[in-house]
Chains A and B, each alone.
Chain A
Amino acid sequence: MTDSGASACPAVEFHDVTVAYGRRPVLWNIDLVIKAPGLFGILGPNGAGKSTLLKAALGLVPLVGGRVTLFGRPLAEVRSRIGYVPQRETVDWDFPVNVMDVVLMGTYARLGWWRRPGAAERDRARAALERVGLVDLAGRQIGRLSGGQQQRVFLARALAQDAELYFLDEPLAGVDVRSQERIFRVLDDLRREGRLVVVVHHDLRTAADWFDGAALVDMRLVAAGPTAAVLTPENLRRTYAGHIDVLDELGRAVARGGRTA
C-alpha cells in the first residue's frame, strides 16, 4: 500500500477499483490510499481517467469492480463530511442564479428536505465568500464573472459545506495566475486546518510545489506517494509515453466480449 505522508488516518481508499463507460473499462484496478490531512494531487494526461477516479469516489459513476471507502466507511454514511468542486465546463452559466445563490447550495445538504436557508446559512455563505475574496460580488449573476471568479464561486460553495475531505476537479484550469495563487492559498489553509484536499490537476510544474502527495494515473495507477518520489522521470515516461494503447485495445475487446487481435 502506498501512502501520502505524515501522520493520521487513511481518509480515501480505493480497493481494486475498475470503472467502465458503457462496457468499456476506462480505469483498471486502482489501489490507492490517501491519508488526511494533506494536499494531494491526481495527475496524468488528458483522458487518463483522473476525473473519473474522482467521480468514482463520489459515487457519480458506477464501479465495475472494487470499492471505495472514505474514512473507512462507505460513501453513503459520510456524505456530510465531503465537499466537491466539479469541473467548470459542466455548468450552465446562463442559469438565473447569482453568486450568493450558488454558495448557499453548499449549505443545502445540512438543511435537509423542505427547509429554506436562514440567517445561519447566509452567514456561512458570506464567510466562505470572504475567504475567496468574492463577497462584493454576491449579487452578480454567475455568467457575468471572469473565469477565475467563477472558479472561486464553486470553491466558496464547497467551503460552505464545511467538510473534512474536499474533492476538486481541475480547479485551476483556464484560471489566471493571480486567481490560481489565491485559490491555492485557500486550499493550503484547509490543509493546515487538518483537512484533506484531493485535487485533479493538469499542470506538472505547479504540482511539485503545491502537493505533498500525488498519484500518477493513466487508465491505471502508475505510481503514488510523496510528490517528489512520484514525479520521477521514469514514472513520467511511463505515464505520458502512453502504454495505454494496450489498455485501449483491451477495453474495446472487453466491451465487445471478445479477444483483441
Chain B
Amino acid sequence: MNSLAAIPYNTLVVAAAVAVVGFASGVVGCFGVLRRRALAGDAAAHATLAGVVAAFVVTGRRDLPTLLVGAFVAAMASLGCLVVIRRFTRTRDDAATALVLSVSFGIGIVLLSGLSARGIPGAGGLEQFLLGHTAALTATDAITLAVVSAAVVLVVWAGLKEATLVSFDPAFAAATGWPVAVIDYALVALVAAMVVVGLPAAGAVLVTALVVIPPVAARQWTDRVPTMLILAGVIGLVAAVGGVAASAAVPRLATGPTIVLVASGLFAVSFFCAPERGWFARRRGV
C-alpha cells in the first residue's frame, strides 16, 4: 500500500485511463477482425495525424479534446474516401486502403513539417502523436479519454446482437429488415473513435495494433462472441497498461512500440497455449 500511495495522483489517473482505453480498443476491434476488415482502422489511424495538425492550425489550440476532434474528423474522412474509391473506381480494396493510408499520412507530414519549418510555437508537441507519449497527459485529459472509451463499450454491449448479426450474415440481416448500412457505419465510427482515443497512448502508426492484436489473441481462447469481447478487452487492457509502464522505465522510448510488444507477447502466449486452438494443444491431438 505504501508504494501505491507514493505514486503521484496524475500517474494513477493516466494509468487507469489507459487501461480503459485498452479495454475498449480490444472490444471494438473484435468486429473489425471478425468481418475481415482488420486494416481499415489503419487507414483511419494514419489520417489522424493530418486531423491533429489541421485542428491546431485552424483553432490555434493545443488542448487534447480539440486535437482529438480534428483527428476523428480526419479518420471519418479517410474512411469516406475508401467508400468513394470503392463506389467510383476499379481500384481494389487493399490497394485503396494502402493508398488512403499513405496519402493521408503524407498530408499530415506536409502540415506538420510546414508548421515546424515556420517555427510556429507549439507545433513540436504534435510529433508525439506519431508513436505515442503518455507522460504529457493531464488527469483531465485522461479522464476524457476514459469516459469516451467507456461510452464506446456501452454502445457495443447494448447493440451486441445487432453488431454480431450484421458481422456474421449481412444478407440475412438485410432480408429481415435491419438497416445494415447504418449499423455498418456505426461500427466503423466506433473503431475510428477508438483509434483516435488511442492516439496519445500508442500513436498514429501503431494504434491499429490495439484494435487488431487483442481480438486475434482472444479468438484463440473461445468460440463465443461475448467471451471473445471480454477477453479481447482484458488483453487490450493489460497491453496498454503494461506498455505504458514499460516505456516509463526507458525515458526515450515511446509508448506505442512497448504497448504493441506486450500485446504481441500475449498473442504469442495465446497462439501456443490456448486449449483446442493453441499450437501445443493441436500437437497433442486434442
* Interface positions of A (Cβ within 8 A of B): 55, 58-60, 76, 79-80, 82, 84, 86, 90-92, 95-98, 101-102, 105, 108-109, 111, 113-114, 116-117, 141, 157, 161, 167
Contacts and interface: CB of A to CB of B under 8 A. Distances in A.
Contacts of B159: 113-114
A84 B177 CA distance: 11
Given A84-B172, A86-B172, A79 B177 contact: yes
B4 interface: no
A105 B36 CA distance: 21
Contact of B165 (A82, A98, A108, A116): A108
Nearest to B30: A96
A119 to B, nearest CB: 16
Nearest to B176: A109
A198 B260 CA distance: 52
Interface string B163-175: 0110111011011
Contacts of A101: 164, 224-225
Contact of B169 (A59, A79, A105): A105
A193 to B, nearest CB: 20
B222 interface: yes
Nearest to A109: B176
B175 A82 contact: yes
B185 to A, nearest CB: 16
Interface string B201-245: 000000000000000000100111100100000000000000000
Contacts of B169: 86, 90-91, 105
Contacts of B222: 96
B158 interface: yes
Interface residues of B, number: 24
A86 B169 CA distance: 9
B61 interface: no
B37 interface: no
A105 B172 contact: yes
A80 B225 CA distance: 26
Given A113-B162, A116-B161, A141-B223, A60 B176 contact: no
A79 B224 contact: no
A58 B174 CA distance: 8
B177 A98 contact: no
B87 to A, nearest CB: 12
22 contacts: A60-B171, A60-B174, A60-B175, A84-B176, A86-B171, A91-B169, A92-B36, A95-B167, A95-B168, A96-B222, A96-B224, A97-B225, A98-B223, A98-B224, A101-B224, A105-B168, A108-B165, A109-B176, A113-B162, A114-B159, A116-B161, A167-B175
Given A108-B161, A108-B165, A84 B224 contact: no
9 tightest A-B CB contacts, nearest first: A79-B177, A109-B176, A84-B175, A141-B223, A58-B175, A96-B223, A86-B171, A95-B168, A96-B225
Interface of B: 34, 36, 158-159, 161-162, 164-165, 167-169, 171-172, 174-178, 219, 222-225, 228
Contacts of B36: 92
B232 to A, nearest CB: 11
Contacts of A113: 159, 162
Contacts of A114: 158-159
Given A96-B223, A116-B161, A117-B161, A109 B178 contact: yes
A79 B176 contact: yes
A135 B171 CA distance: 25
Contacts of A84: 171-172, 175-176
A69 B165 CA distance: 26
Nearest to B225: A96
B215 to A, nearest CB: 10
Question: Which residue of A59, A79, A95, A98 has the most chain B CB atoms within 10 A of its CB atom?
Answer: A95
A117 B228 CA distance: 19
B140 to A, nearest CB: 32
Most buried by A among B36, B165, B172, B178: B172
Given A60-B171, A86-B175, 14 more contacts: A60-B174, A84-B172, A86-B172, A90-B169, A92-B36, A96-B34, A96-B219, A96-B224, A97-B164, A97-B224, A97-B225, A98-B223, A105-B165, A117-B161
Contacts of A98: 223-224
B158 A108 contact: no
Contacts of A55: 171
A92 B176 contact: no
Contacts of A92: 34, 36, 168
